[in-house]
């Protein structure tokens, strides 16, 4: 009864709270971060108040950084000071008490886990070409099966980015497609539920944890599905009399002497696989979705990309970036204008430090606003326009492009994600002309969510070259 009354009170309080968040009322400090359009909202604030915003959140200092210069100063020049992640109630629940790579702090177990995951991904990167062609062909086959009828590409992209990670991790011992498809949907839902403000509020307002929270229940159900899937794959690999060699899982189990740090403890191994799936599925699919949406708005750019691809003998591979500069620039411009992780991941100061000449106390939380930094008018001309051509000119500000973060905790999947986007987009453009669906051109506005996704849209993929032709 008391819980029901409290829940009612909370429901009554939520609308005024949301209104305060919209106005960005200073008294509520960093509750801005709960705003459904957090990154965009913080970008507007930064335009008014400068690239270093200071706030209070749950009794702690929070810094939101909105220029590449200041983000680099913190995460590259003072990288040792900012290696930590802020402790989080939800983070701990979904990571078996902080045993994972993305949310864990720097302890010996975490260093070993990060070193082994980086090493295993780097090893896998040397044989990425054939894997991406195979996956890209399957992606095009699925797109072709729609016969030019309107389709929402996001679910297809998510399945194939998830399947790429599965192939890298497990080699030929990949789970059946139906199981993998259900798992990729589970990952999407998990991020979506985690992003809900009623769930995020549990991190900021501990008294809410005593109340029933349907979102939290849903989150824990999805975590259970996630864990059962990953556990089943590890078991399948361990029980196989001759498991495939050269897989990321094999390397993390200590079967590749060139990968340092392995073997990992069972829990660290489990969470490393979870992080590679979560880190590499929705983010890459979202970027592919944005690239397609932007190209629908620029048919003449599509035609130039197709002409560039025709000049290549055979399908594009990860090593063709120099021969396909416009395709490479299109991938970079998509990641600049719509970074899939617009607020990166929060960092935490392990000791007293300084930033922009200001003293910073240990425990301060740092949020890099990558969306704002990559649209900084001081660095980028026409910052809000989609202009891949900007990356073709000699003085392009590459150092200010930070979609994967920077420094000692930058994304370990950067090379894989870039290669995947380059090959998949190249294969799609080579085979199909992208045309708007019956609803017209997609919106390009920023929508809420942990991962920055394009608002849902449908398009027609009209075959313009027979599949598999050189």
- Per-residue tokens: 95: 């990571």
User: Which residue, chain included where needed, has tokens 């106390």?
Assistant: 361
Identified binder of ligand HEM from the candidate list 137, 321, 410, 465, rule CB under 6 A: 410
CB nearer ligand HEM, residue 200 or residue 460:
200
Identified binder of ligand HEM from the candidate list 196, 226, 338, 409, rule CB under 6 A: 409
- Per-residue tokens: 467: 């599949």
Q: Does 283 bind ligand HEM (CB under 6 A)?
A: yes
Q: How many residues bind ligand HEM (CB under 6 A)?
A: 26
What's phi and psi for 67, nearest 5 deg?
Answer: -135, 150
| Interatomic CA distance for residues 21 and 30, integer angstroms | 9
Identified binder of ligand HEM from the candidate list 250, 261, 403, 426, rule CB under 6 A: 403
| Interatomic CA distance for residues 338 and 444, integer angstroms | 9
| Interatomic CA distance for residues 185 and 222, integer angstroms | 10
CB nearer ligand HEM, residue 57 or residue 343:
343
Identified binder of ligand HEM from the candidate list 102, 124, 139, 454, rule CB under 6 A: 102
Q: Are strands 60-65 and 365-368 parallel, antiparallel or unpaired?
A: parallel
Q: Does 169 bind ligand HEM (CB under 6 A)?
A: no
Nearby residues of 341 by Cβ (< 8 Å), 6 or more positions away: 283, 370, 403, 405, 450, 451, 452
- Spell out a b/e string for 148-184, using b for 16 or more CB atoms within 10 Å of the CB, else e: eeebebbebbbbbbbbbbbbbbbbebbbeeeebbebb
Minimum Å distance from CB 155 to ligand HEM? 17
- Residue span binding ligand HEM (CB under 6 A) among the ranges 20-28, 35-43, 274-282, 379-387: 274-282
Minimum Å distance from CB 111 to ligand HEM? 10
Q: Does 114 bind ligand HEM (CB under 6 A)?
A: yes
Identified binder of ligand HEM from the candidate list 153, 405, 442, 449, rule CB under 6 A: 405
Per-residue string for binding with ligand HEM, 335-374, x by CB under 6 A? Answer: ----xxx--xx-----------------------------
| Interatomic CA distance for residues 247 and 452, integer angstroms | 30
Q: Are 291 and 114 in contact (CB under 8 A)?
A: no
Q: Does 411 bind ligand HEM (CB under 6 A)?
A: yes
Q: Does 136 bind ligand HEM (CB under 6 A)?
A: no
Minimum Å distance from CB 168 to ligand HEM? 7
Q: Does 284 bind ligand HEM (CB under 6 A)?
A: yes
Nearby residues of 351 by Cβ (< 8 Å), 6 or more positions away: 81, 362
Q: Are strands 353-355 and 347-348 parallel, antiparallel or unpaired?
A: unpaired
What's phi and psi for 355, nearest 5 deg?
Answer: -150, 130
Q: Is the dihedral of CA 62, 66, 68, 70 positive or negative?
A: negative
Identified binder of ligand HEM from the candidate list 33, 417, 425, 428, rule CB under 6 A: 417
Q: Does 270 bind ligand HEM (CB under 6 A)?
A: no
Minimum Å distance from CB 71 to ligand HEM? 9
Q: Are 367 and 316 in contact (CB under 8 A)?
A: no
- Per-residue tokens: 341: 């992780």
CB nearer ligand HEM, residue 216 or residue 329:
329
CB nearer ligand HEM, residue 6 or residue 90:
90
* Residue 107 annotated as binding site: no
CB nearer ligand HEM, residue 31 or residue 416:
416
CB nearer ligand HEM, residue 187 or residue 208:
187
Give the residues lining the site for ligand HEM (CB under 6 A).
101-102, 114, 165, 275-276, 279-280, 283-284, 287, 339-341, 344-345, 403-405, 409-413, 416-417
Annotated binding site for heme: 411
């Amino acid at each position: 009864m008391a819980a029901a009354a409290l829940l009612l009170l909370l429901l009554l309080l939520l609308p005024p709270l949301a209104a305060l968040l919209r106005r960005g009322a200073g008294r509520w400090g960093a509750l801005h971060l709960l705003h459904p359009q957090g990154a965009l909202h913080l970008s507007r604030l930064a335009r008014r108040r400068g690239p270093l915003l200071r706030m209070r959140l749950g009794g702690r200092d929070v810094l939101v950084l909105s220029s590449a210069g200041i983000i680099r100063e913190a995460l590259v020049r003072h990288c040792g000071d900012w290696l930590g992640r802020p402790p989080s109630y939800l983070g701990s629940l979904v990571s078996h008490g902080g045993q994972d790579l993305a949310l864990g702090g720097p302890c010996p177990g975490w260093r070993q886990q990060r070193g082994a995951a980086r090493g295993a991904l780097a090893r896998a990167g040397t044989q990425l070409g054939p894997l991406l062609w195979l996956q890209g062909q399957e992606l095009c086959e699925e797109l072709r099966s729609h016969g030019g009828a309107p389709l929402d590409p996001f679910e297809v992209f998510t399945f194939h980015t998830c399947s790429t990670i599965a192939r890298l991790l497990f080699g030929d011992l990949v789970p059946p497609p139906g199981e993998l498809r259900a798992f990729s949907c589970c990952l999407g839902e998990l991020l979506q539920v985690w992003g809900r403000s009623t769930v995020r509020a549990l991190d900021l307002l501990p008294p809410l944890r005593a109340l029933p929270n349907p979102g939290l229940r849903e989150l824990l159900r999805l975590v259970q599905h996630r864990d059962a899937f990953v556990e089943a794959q590890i078991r399948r690999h361990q029980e196989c009399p001759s498991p495939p060699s050269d897989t990321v899982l094999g390397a993390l189990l200590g079967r590749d002497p060139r990968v340092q740090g392995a073997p990992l403890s069972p829990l660290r191994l489990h969470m490393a696989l979870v992080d590679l799936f979560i880190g590499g599925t929705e983010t890459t699919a979202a970027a592919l979705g944005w690239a397609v949406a932007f190209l629908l708005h620029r048919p003449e750019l599509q035609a130039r990309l197709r002409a560039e691809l025709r000049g290549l003998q055979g399908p594009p591979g990860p090593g063709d970036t120099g021969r396909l500069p416009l395709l490479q620039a299109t991938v970079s411009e998509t990641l600049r204008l719509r970074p899939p992780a617009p607020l990166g991941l929060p960092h935490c100061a392990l000791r007293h430090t300084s930033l922009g000449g200001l003293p910073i106390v240990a425990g301060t939380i740092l949020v890099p606003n990558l969306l704002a930094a990559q649209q900084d008018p001081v660095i980028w001309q026409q910052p809000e326009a989609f202009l891949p051509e900007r990356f073709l000119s000699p003085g392009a500000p590459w150092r200010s492009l930070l979609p994967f973060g920077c420094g000692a905790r930058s994304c370990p999947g950067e090379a894989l994600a870039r290669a995947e986007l380059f090959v998949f987009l190249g294969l799609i453009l080579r085979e199909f002309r992208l045309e708007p669906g019956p609803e017209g051109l997609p919106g390009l506005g920023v929508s809420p969510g942990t991962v920055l996704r394009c608002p849902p849209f449908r398009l027609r993929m009209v075959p313009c070259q027979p599949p598999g032709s050189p």
